[in-house]
Amino acid sequence: MLKRAKIFWHSLLMAMNELRVNKIRTFLSLLGITIGIFCTIAVFTVTQSLETNIRAQMESLGNNVIFVQRWPWGNTGSDWWKYVQRPTANYTEYQSLKQRIHNAGAFAYVYDLSGQTVSKGDDYMGGVTMLAVTDGFDQIQEVGLSGGRFFTPQESTGNSMRIILGANIWQGLFPSANDAIGKEVELAGKRFTVIGVLKTYGQSIVRSFDYDNSVLVPYSAARSIVNDRSRWVEPFIMVKTAPHVSVAELKDELRGAMRAIRHLKPTQEDNFALNELSVMMESSQAMFAKINYGGLFIGFFALLVGVFGIANIMFVTVKERTSQIGLKKAIGAKRSVILQEFLIESVILCLIGGAIGIGFVFIIAKIVSSFVFFQVQLTGWIIALGLGISIVAGIIAGYIPAYTASRLNPVVAIRS
């Protein structure tokens, strides 16, 4: 063990001396390894951070929620004409499902209308989306309130003129969240009383709605602005599973109930879609896998150049130390010792190049995180992956030069 430690320490000193004596040559040779590790680790860092962010957002949306809609999620291909002819979900079906379904924990009926204006006196906010929701919406979706409360069941069905403002809306119209509660605002020419204000959600590539620029209105009140059977809106029903009930069980029950509600014959196919977030997650995982393969492909060629560069350094190093190798072998050094010495030196050089590449990724990740809507994090397993690739590259690059050095004839080596 002590002998191996001495070999490692001696090889480390040799590698450091190589960097010190031949700075330009070593730097150019390490550049390939650095770029290769940088490309590979950068791609993995971005995709993992993005995937983590998407998973967290999907969990907040509810991975145990089924959306009853007209259109299926994903690529509809040439079947779009079939889907566009389907009837949209409606409030009557929502009420029927609430009576028929036993494996559900919560129901909500939702539709939206964009391009609205919310005003308070002379102040107004344009480009607002109105979300018409029923009382079960807050049990299915995470509705983060900075102040106030959500709609009661009576307000949802009793044509109550109540409203909940998104973060950008109340921040633009009122000095604070508390100042907004109880005040009146105007939406589509109708006056609403503010009963709640939402927290800031930020940007999202998963969430269906931009809550920051939206207002929530009870379904009954929203109908006075736009009817849910209008061609301008696309209503859907959200159903959350009851405790200890799987999504598959609920989905089967929903399919049977919807077919009965729409009086579909056994030979007829479904004229509705039961969408779930797992479909989006599967498609995103496939996309991330392709991106990772692309990063590995680019990184492989950069690493290949780096391996040739390190191999070149090691061949030159063997040439320069030929007489030293001869002396070591003459006084009893085994071939395995010479082989290990040069292999370790090659691995250390690659580790230095890999560490530089990982360092660049870390710096850029910190910079990028301040500009994008999700945190780009360089995790421990990605760092370990980068260092592991560097070690493998070092072994591949250094083996042939090290083997050549270990096979030198000591007499010929000393003379040279």
Q: Delimit the domains of the chain by residue range.
A: 2-57+282-415, 87-271
> pLDDT by residue (tens digit) across 156-213?
887 789 999 999 999 999 988 888 999 999 998 899 999 999 988 876 655 567 888 9
Helix, strand, coil abundance in the chain, percent, nearest 5: 60, 15, 25
Determine the pLDDT at residue 152: 87
pLDDT of residue 206: 57
**Overall residue count recorded for the chain in this entry:** 416
Q: What is the pLDDT of residue 96?
A: 93
Asked if the model's pLDDT at residue 61 lies above 80, the reply is: no
Question: Nearest to residue 177, comparing CAs of 202, 211, 200?
Answer: 200
- For residue 49, the model assigns a pLDDT of 82
- Tell me the mean pLDDT in the region 56-81: 76
Highest mean pLDDT among 46-55, 80-89, 372-381 belongs to: 80-89
φ and ψ at residue 216, rounded to 5 degrees:
-100, 130
Between 79-83, 256-260, 261-265, the lowest mean confidence (pLDDT) is in 79-83
Mapped onto helix, strand or coil, the DSSP state of residue 376 is coil
pLDDT of 373: 67
- Which one has a higher pLDDT value, 11 or 254? 254
Confidence of residue 62 (pLDDT cuts 50, 70, 90): low
**Residue 113's beta-bridge partner residues?**
130
Choice between 124 and 17, residue whose per-residue pLDDT is larger = 124
Q: Rounded to whole angstroms, how far apart are CA atoms 384 and 317?
A: 28
Interval 226-237: pLDDT, tens: 888 888 889 999
Tokens of 181: 């509660």
Tokens of 281: 């997650």
Q: 291-319, pLDDT tens digit by residue?
A: 777 777 877 887 888 888 888 888 887 88
Q: How confident is the model at residue 255 (pLDDT cuts 50, 70, 90)?
A: very high
Token reading at 373:
């809507």
Q: Which of 134-143, 279-288, 306-315, 399-408 has the lowest mean pLDDT?
A: 279-288
Q: Is residue 122's pLDDT more than 70?
A: yes
CA angle 373, 378, 380 (to 5 degrees): 140
> What was the pLDDT predicted at 320?
78
Q: What is the dihedral of CA 394, 400, 402, 405, to 10 degrees?
A: -160
Burial of residue 17 (CB within 10 Å: 0-12, 13-18, 19+) is: exposed
